[in-house]
Structure 1
């Protein structure tokens, strides 16, 4: 930001101004390369070459490849679809699980590429926390709000269990690393029904065949 010394013209900041378009392009390229090559095949040379930028330009923005991945995934978090206007929490969950039966999106494939390497770089763990775990937690909060509005609020212990199950189910989805439709085993559906409704009613799943059915 320019400053104005007393009695003088505005003083311009030192150094070359940051090219926001190059930054956005580098982050997009990083996601592409994660999907194509995985974490093990990602390097600053590959990012610079695909971005058509010098390595120095990347190092002015990030110190390590892990930092680039963290920025890329944080800037492009997964989309967790929960129909907040559903009349019941079972129908809201139905909508959520239906979206999880679809093939992995490009962002999900990029996040899946680093799952097995979280222990090697704290930036990767932070990236998954921001791009995956936090959107999932917001989805659980939406489900809890739907439950309150429907007159069947979830007590804290059941809400924590629901969060644990949904996070585990989503991790399983990412671990599949598949561009094909994903099917939930029927025992998972039973667990979710018990968590949400106390086993009073099954949770319907639409838009696909459940494995084993």
Structure 2
């Protein structure tokens, strides 16, 4: 009599080694640093692995291509975006806008624009990357400014017929031009001048109102 094979031993699938995702944030931060410094074309997986002190094989198991790594890295920049429920509320639009200008936010804006510069050549080739960049690098500040402008409209400070979306995009556009075209640092004085000389007049408000 032939003994039937052990079905338990042969039919139970073997599970591979579970991926360790605990180092993902550190690797993605390293990817952003390299991307900001070198741009997408010159960025290498080797350099990211070295910066993160991780094995190159670890990165390739998690992100089979450089594009996938960059998309995930850029997407993670959305974390820590403005909490729209706790924006400054000083009683005036100018006060609110100036209250948002803090050293950490200035440094964050500069880094985002450096990352944007690093991927700009890829945006037309990768719609997915363009969508991620818009959502992570541009949309949060625009959304915050939109809330502040809408609040000013509600209290009668600003006319209701203004183009909110256009004006809410001005700050990010000016920061991008300053960093990427003029190659000059973004300072508090520069951001205040954007508020007073461009944003407020565009909303029908005089400087320092």
Common topology (TM > 0.5): yes
Is residue 85–residue 146 contact of structure 1 (8 Å, CA) maintained in 2?
Answer: no
Equivalent of 1:119, from 104, 119, 124?
124
* Change over 3 Å in CA distance of 1:51–1:184 after alignment to 2: closer
2:110 is the alignment partner of 1:109 = no
CA distance in structure 2 between the aligned counterparts of 1:160 and 1:14, rounded to whole angstroms: 51
Equivalent of 1:190, from 197, 203, 208?
197
1:107-162 Cα shifts (integer Å, max 9, x gaps): 54333422354224334313321221221232123213431453335535421331
Task: Say how many residue pairs are matched.
Answer: 192
CA RMSD of aligned residues (A): 3.6
Q: How does 1:73-152 map to 2 (within 5 A)?
A: 73-77=74-78, 79=81, 83-96=87-100, 102=106, 105-152=110-157
Q: Which has the larger radius of gyration?
A: 2
* Alignment match, 1:5: none
CA distance in structure 2 between the aligned counterparts of 1:126 and 1:179, rounded to whole angstroms: 26
CA distance in structure 2 between the aligned counterparts of 1:61 and 1:156, rounded to whole angstroms: 49
Q: How does 1:36-75 map to 2 (within 5 A)?
A: 36-75=37-76
* Change over 3 Å in CA distance of 1:135–1:101 after alignment to 2: closer
Is residue 171–residue 194 contact of structure 2 (8 Å, CA) maintained in 1?
Answer: no
Is residue 161–residue 195 contact of structure 1 (8 Å, CA) maintained in 2?
Answer: no
* Change over 3 Å in CA distance of 1:45–1:19 after alignment to 2: same
What TM-score, normalized to structure 2? Answer: 0.70
Name whichever structure is richer in helix by fraction: 2
SS in structure 2 of the partner of residue 60 of structure 1: helix
Q: Gapped runs of 5+ residues in structure 2?
A: 1-11
